[in-house]
Amino acid sequence: MHPTIRPRRLRQSPALRRMTAETRLHAADLVLPMFVREGTPEALPIQSMPGVVQHSLDSLRRAVADAAEAGVGGVMLFGVPETRDAIGTGATDPDGILNVATRAVVAEVGDALVVQTDLCLDEFTDHGHCGVLDVNGRVDNDATLERYRDMALAQADAGSVLLGLSGMMDGQVAAVRQALDSVGHLDTAVLAYSAKYASVFYGPFREAVDSQLSGDRRTYQQDPANRREGLYEARLDLEQGADVLMVKPAMSYLDVLSDVAAMSDVPVWAYQVSGEYSMIEAAAANGWIDRRRAIEESVVSIRRAGADAVLTYWATEIAGWLR
Ligand code: PBG
């Protein structure tokens, strides 16, 4: 007995496999997250993220130029300030590191790629939370919205094209949109981290930004157990005028990503976060996994699940492979 239907036919050669691939990577669909540290004369390694650094302004400019040269679609900037306070003053100060870095990057690459900024207070507060605290030490949603509005204006003034709202405060998209529009920043776009989960996979990022957090973010980021809630958050962000939605982390949340991609009217992106990066790097460093194939498979899987673009710390390297 011989089968008449043979799916293996299309898998028999690299040429056939290449022609029938349903998902492809393209450099333009990759966004490189980058850290820039105030006051450092040169880039500093991040122990838990081998190959990723806290940039100086100079090394940042060079790395962004490299990313643009490789064809990477965009960069997402995170600031690491020298001093912090309760309300994250450095985030709204035009001379704060993130705003200074944004101006430097825009001056360096202009429109060659999409310059994006993380809009959240956690890197700038001395308690490490994504918002300001009330008298009882709880994250105060509506007081935080006021800070986000100011932060949005500072970032738009600095030249950020797309603001990455990662704080998970209720109503943050509408608040920022209204603030931007009220001063004429009509073209500054909003990337809403819609379904952002309280994930252990952000662990290495805490070192990357010298996070001051003790405790966790479970009163504002979502419970990893919740799929329907991810869709609800995405719908709320669409209603508030988000230009792009995001699901984060990526690999453990491909079901949520697929759901959001199926319902969204706007592009849906996913963030392959620090822990996802470090796990593959660590396994590869031990010889337990093929590094390049693991990187490619992980990012292709995120695209296959529905991400139009992927934030990944390997963006420039992958773009180089794709040439
Ligand atoms: C918040 C923010 C975080 C990450 C991106 N934006 C940290 C957090 O929510 O705890 C994590 C990214 C990563 O782990 O790579 N500003």
What are the residue boundaries of the structural domains of the chain, listed by start? Answer: 25-322
The pLDDT > 70 percentage for the chain reads 100
Assigned token pair, 194: 């819609």
Summarised one tens digit per residue, pLDDT across range 173-210 is 999 999 999 999 999 999 999 999 999 999 999 889 99
Summarised one tens digit per residue, pLDDT across range 112-161 is 999 999 999 999 999 999 999 999 999 999 999 999 999 999 999 999 99
Query: What pLDDT, on the 0 to 100 scale, is given for residue 146?
Result: 98
- The 10 Å CB-count burial string (b at 16+, else e) for 255-276 is ebbebbbeebebbbbbbbbbbb
Question: How far does residue 14's CA lie from ligand 1's centre (Å)?
Answer: 38
Report CA dihedral (104, 164, 144, 123) to the nearest 10 degrees.
Answer: -60
What is the C-alpha to C-alpha distance for residues 120 and 164, in angstroms, rounded to an integer?
8
Question: How far does residue 166's CA lie from ligand 1's centre (Å)?
Answer: 7
Query: What pLDDT, on the 0 to 100 scale, is given for residue 311?
Result: 98
Mean pLDDT of the region 289-298 = 98
Which residue's alpha carbon is nearest to atom 16 within ligand 1?
120
What is the C-alpha to C-alpha distance for residues 74 and 316, in angstroms, rounded to an integer?
10
Helices of type H across the chain: 14-20, 57-70, 89-92, 97-109, 141-158, 172-182, 203-208, 228-239, 254-263, 274-285, 291-304, 315-322
Query: What pLDDT, on the 0 to 100 scale, is given for residue 36?
Result: 98
Query: What pLDDT, on the 0 to 100 scale, is given for residue 9?
Result: 98
**Cβ-contact 113, 74 below 8 angstroms:** yes
Question: How far does residue 248's CA lie from ligand 1's centre (Å)?
Answer: 9
Task: Provide the pLDDT confidence category of residue 96 given band limits of 50, 70 and 90.
Answer: very high
**Cβ-contact 209, 78 below 8 angstroms:** yes
Query: What pLDDT, on the 0 to 100 scale, is given for residue 312?
Result: 99
Of 97-106, 210-219, 266-275, the least confident: 210-219
What is the C-alpha to C-alpha distance for residues 296 and 304, in angstroms, rounded to an integer?
12
The pLDDT > 90 percentage for the chain reads 98
Query: What pLDDT, on the 0 to 100 scale, is given for residue 188?
Result: 98
Task: Provide the pLDDT confidence category of residue 86 given band limits of 50, 70 and 90.
Answer: very high
Query: What pLDDT, on the 0 to 100 scale, is given for residue 48?
Result: 97
Summarised one tens digit per residue, pLDDT across range 183-192 is 999 999 999 9
- Name which CATH class applies to 25-322: alpha beta
Query: What pLDDT, on the 0 to 100 scale, is given for residue 271?
Result: 98
Summary mean pLDDT of the chain: 97
What is the C-alpha to C-alpha distance for residues 142 and 183, in angstroms, rounded to an integer?
21
Q: What is the pTM (predicted TM-score) of this model?
A: 0.97
Question: Which ligand 1 atom sits closest to the C-alpha of 313?
Answer: 15
Which residue among 76, 117, 168, 202 has the greatest number of ligand 1 atoms within 8 angstroms of its CB, and so is best to mutate?
202
Hey, which residues are catalytic here?
Answer: 196, 248
Query: What pLDDT, on the 0 to 100 scale, is given for residue 153?
Result: 98
Summarised one tens digit per residue, pLDDT across range 68-84 is 999 999 999 999 999 99
Question: How far does residue 287's CA lie from ligand 1's centre (Å)?
Answer: 28
Q: Phi and psi at residue 31, in whole multiples of 5°?
A: -125, 130
Bridge pairing between strands 53-55 and 44-45: antiparallel
Which residue's alpha carbon is nearest to atom 2 within ligand 1?
166
DSSP 8-class letter at 71: T
Mean pLDDT of the region 280-300 = 98
Query: What pLDDT, on the 0 to 100 scale, is given for residue 213?
Result: 92
Q: For ligand 1, which residues put their CB under 6 angstroms from it?
A: 118, 120, 122, 130, 166, 202, 205, 217, 273-274
Which residue's alpha carbon is nearest to atom 6 within ligand 1?
166
Task: Provide the pLDDT confidence category of residue 224 given band limits of 50, 70 and 90.
Answer: very high
Which residue's alpha carbon is nearest to atom 1 within ligand 1?
166
